[in-house]
Amino acid sequence: MKTVTATELKTKTGETLDAAQREPVAIEKNGRAIAVIVPQADYDRLMRIENDYWLARVEAAEKSGYVGTEATASFFKEMLKGNAEA
C-alpha cells in the first residue's frame, strides 16, 4: 500500500487520487496513519460485507428467540412499571 503525508496529499491531490483508484493509499500526519483512501469498488465491497454481517447477526438473533426491539422495549417498560408499583 502506498503511503503519503498530509502535505503530499495537499500538493499532489490528483496523483494521489489516481493512485487510490488502483490500490489503497494511506495518509500520514506527523508520522501517524490517520486515514486510508480506497478505490470506490473496494469501499462498496466492504460495505456489502458489513451489511451482510449485520443482517446475519439479526437473523441469528431472531432464530434464537429475539422478538425485536418494539417487543423488547414493551417488555422492559412493563417490568419497570411493575417494579415501581411494588
Strand pairing partners for 4? 27
Say yes or no to pLDDT of 81 above 60: yes
- In the structure grid, which three cell numbers stand for residue 85, read together? 408499583
10-54 pLDDT, tens digit each: 999 999 999 999 999 999 999 999 999 999 999 999 999 999 998
Give the pLDDT confidence score for residue 84 in this predicted structure: 61
**CB atoms closer than 10 angstroms to residue 70:** 8
- The CA distance from 33 to 46, in Å, is 20
